[in-house]
Chain A
Amino acid sequence: MPESARAAVIYAAALVFAFALIHRFVQLGGPYVEIPRTVQDHVSREPYPSRDMILLAARAADVVPRGATVTAIEPSQAPNFDRTLYLTAAGMMPRHRVVPPVLVSDGGAALPQYVLAVRTPLDHPSYQLYRTLTEGRIYTLLP
C-alpha cells in the first residue's frame, strides 16, 4: 500500500469518526451551547437520578448538621436502592458521614440520621420530612 493510499484511508476514517462524534453529541440532546449545572447533565438524553443527587447533596451539605450519618436514595427503587446515589452524595458531603442505603434495622444496626431522596417521596415509618428543596427532599430519623 503506498503512503498516499494510507493517507487517504486515515483522512477518510477521521471524517467518519468526526461525523459519528457529532451525531453522538446531537443524540444526547440540548441545550448545546450552555454550561451544564453538573458533569452528568448530558450523559444520557434523560438525566440519571445521580445527576439530581449531585444537586440535592450539594444543597443538603449546608442544611444537614455536620457529622450526621446520611444516606441517599430514590425511594421508588426500594428495597434494592441504587448504591451509586449514596456514592455520589459522599463526594458532595465530605463533612458528613455518608453510609450505604440500608433502611432496615437489621441486627440492631443504627439507621442513618438523614435520608436524601430524589424524584419520589419517602414513605418510611422511621422517618419524617425534614426539608423540601427544589432538588429533592431531606428526611430525618424519628426520635
Chain B
Amino acid sequence: MTFLLGFAAFLLLPVIGIGIWRLDAIRRLDLSGRLAVAGAAGAAITGAIMAALSVFGIEWSRGRIIALLAVAAAIGVFSTRRRGLSDKAAVRPDWATAGIAAFLLLTTYGLITARESSGDLHFFWGPRSIHFYHDGGITAPFLADRNNADQNPGYPPLLPLLYAWSLTVSRQFSWMAAVLSTALFFLGSVVLVRSTSGDRRAALLMAATLAYAVAVGFAAGGAELPLVFFETLTLVALTFIDDPRAQTVLAALGLAGAVMLKIEGTTFAIATVIALLVIRRPVRTTLLIAAPAALLLAGWLWFIKTNGIPEFYRGGGMPIYFEALPKVLLLTVKAAGYELFGLPWIVPLLLVAFGDVRRAALPLIVALLTIGAAIFFYVHVPDQTWWIASSAPRVLLTPLTAVLIAVAAAWRQPRTARSARSTEEQSELSPGRYRALVTYDLTDKTPDIQRGIHRAVSARAQAAKMAAVMMRIPASNGAPKNDTMPETANTPAPRLTRPALRR
C-alpha cells in the first residue's frame, strides 16, 4: 500500500499542473504530450508550494499540502475546461510506438527488480526528503549540520520536495516508488519528443538509447532522469514549438526545473542561454526564458549562503589541474562509451550528419557546451578516476539527450508543411468548416466572392496570418508563394487554387 500511494503521488502531478493546457500550443499536442507537459508543470507547482510554505514558516502537514495542491489543480481544470483540445489519438499503433512501449517495459522491469537503482537515492536524495518530511519543511539547521555535510545539503531541493510529496501521500517513504518514478520521467521525456516533433522514429531512438544509458549509469531514483525530463522540455520547446508564447513558457519552465534539480541543471541553463545567443534568438526572449531559473537559483544561493550551508556551486573556482586533462579526456570518453563502443552517441550523430545540421544547431550547441562543462569540472580534482567512472555515465545523459533531440530536429519537416497543419488546428472554426473554406477553389469566382470567403475565414479565426500560410497565393509569376496575405480585407483578394491548398 505504501508503494501504491507513494507512486500515485507522482501520477497526480499532471492533474496538479493541468492549468498549462491553457496554452494553445499545448492543446494541439496529443494526449500523451499534454500529460507530459502538465506533469512538468505539476512537479514545478508542487515543489513551489512546498518550498513557499517553508519560506513563510508554515509547517507542512498532509492536510495543508493536499488542500493547496487540490486548489491549484481545481484552478487549472477550471481555466482549461472551456477550451477545446486536440482530438489526436494519444497512441497510434505503429512499429515505433510498439518499440517505445517495449523499452518502457524493459526499463520498468529493470527498476522493479532493482537493477538500475542509483546509490545517491539512499545516500542523500532519500534521506534529505525523509528529514524534510519529519521536520515539516526545508529546515536550515538540518542542512547546515556538519554531520549532514556528506548529504550534499547545498544541492537544489526540487527532487527532495517531490519525494517529500510522495511521502506526504503515503506517510511512509517508499524507496521503490522513488525508483519507479524514473520510468515516468523517462516516458515523459520520450513522449515530449514524440509529441512535439511528430517524429516517432526519433522518439524510439531516444527511448532505446536512454533506457540503455540509464541502466548502465545506475541513474534510477537519482535526480538525473527528472533533470533529463526538464531539459528535454526546454529543448523541444525551443526546437519544435513555433508558438512564441508557449515556447517561452515551456522553455522557462524547463530551465527553472533543471536548475532546481541539480547543479548540472545550472550548467545546462547557462549552455542553453549561450546557444540561444549563438543562433541569434532575440535577446529579450532569451532573458525571459532564463529569468525564472535565474531568480530561483538566486533565491536558493541566498538561502544556503545566509545559513552557512555547504555548497559546490563555486567548484569552478577551485584550482585547475591542466596536467590531468589528457587523463580526464580519456576517462570521460571511456565512460561515454556506455560499455557499447559509444553506440549511444554514434547512431544519433550519424543520423544528424545525414540530416540538416543547421536545424539541429540549438541542441547540438547545448550538447557540446554541457560536455565541455563536465570536463571543466573534472579537471578541478587531482585524481578523477573514481569520480569520472561513477558519475560520467549519469552526467553525460544531458548532452546525450540533446544529441538525441538533434536527430528529430535535423530531420524535421520543412516549416511550410508544419505551419499549414498547425494553422488549421489554430482556427477557432470547426476543422471541417475551416477546411471547406480554405480549400475551396476560388480561381473561377469573381473578386467579390473571393473577397467574401476570404473575409469569413479571416474574421472568424482572426487569422490573417494563419490564412496567409494556409492559402498558397499565386505570385505574379505564377509560382506558389507564402506569407503574402493582405493585411486587411479591403485589399484585393488573392486567387486561390485547389491543388496548392492541399497538404
Contact = CB atoms under 8 A, between A and B. Distances in A.
A18 interface: yes
A36 B112 CA distance: 8
Interface string A14-56: 1011101110110010001111101111110000101000100
A28 B339 CA distance: 15
A22 B146 CA distance: 43
B376 interface: no
Interface stretch (A5-13, A123-131, A132-140): A5-13
B176 interface: yes
B347 A88 contact: no
Contact of A39 (B179, B204, B205): B179
Contact of B115 (A25, A90, A99): A25
Interface in B417-475: none
Interface stretch (B61-69, B211-219, B271-279): B211-219
Given A20-B340, A21-B106, A39 B121 contact: yes
Contacts, number: 136
A109 B26 CA distance: 58
Contact of B215 (A13, A24, A88): A24
B189 interface: no
Contacts of A90: 127, 131, 148, 151
B113 interface: yes
B117 A16 contact: no
B110 A21 contact: yes
A91 B115 contact: no
A32 to B, nearest CB: 7
Contacts of A83: 150
A61 B115 CA distance: 26
A59 B124 CA distance: 20
B175 interface: yes
A36 B180 CA distance: 13
Interface stretch (B95-103, B316-324, B360-368, B478-486): B95-103
Interface in B170-194: 173, 175-176, 178-179
Most B CB within 10 A of own CB, among A7, A21, A36? A21
Nearest to A69: B147
Contacts of A142: none
Contacts of B176: 39
B204 A10 contact: yes
B215 A21 contact: yes
Nearest to A71: B147
B119 interface: yes
Contact of B114 (A7, A16, A38, A86): A38
B351 interface: yes
A48 B354 CA distance: 45
B103 A18 contact: yes
B130 A94 contact: yes
Interface string A87-125: 110110011011110000000000000000000000000
A22 B106 contact: yes
B106 A6 contact: no
A14 B211 CA distance: 10
Given A6-B354, A40-B117, A97-B147, A88 B110 contact: no
A84 to B, nearest CB: 5
A7 B201 contact: yes
Nearest to B151: A87
B295 interface: no
A24 B338 CA distance: 12
A3 B412 CA distance: 11
B179 A24 contact: no
Contacts of A6: 201, 351, 354, 411
A128 B96 CA distance: 62
A54 B113 CA distance: 16
A46 to B, nearest CB: 14
A36 B89 CA distance: 37
B126 interface: yes
Given A17-B208, A87-B123, A87-B124, 17 more contacts: A6-B351, A9-B347, A11-B201, A13-B208, A13-B343, A13-B347, A14-B208, A17-B212, A20-B212, A25-B110, A38-B175, A39-B114, A39-B117, A39-B122, A40-B119, A95-B134, A99-B147
24 contacts: A1-B351, A6-B351, A6-B354, A9-B347, A10-B205, A11-B201, A14-B207, A17-B209, A17-B344, A21-B106, A21-B215, A24-B115, A32-B113, A39-B122, A39-B221, A40-B117, A41-B113, A48-B119, A87-B151, A90-B151, A91-B122, A91-B126, A91-B127, A94-B127
What 8 A-B pairs come out closest when comparing CB atoms? Answer: A91-B127, A1-B354, A17-B208, A14-B208, A36-B114, A87-B123, A39-B117, A41-B114
Interface of B: 95-96, 99, 102-103, 106, 109-110, 112-117, 119, 121-124, 126-127, 130-131, 134, 147-148, 150-151, 173, 175-176, 178-179, 201-202, 204-205, 207-209, 211-212, 215-216, 218, 221, 340, 343-344, 347, 350-351, 354-355, 411
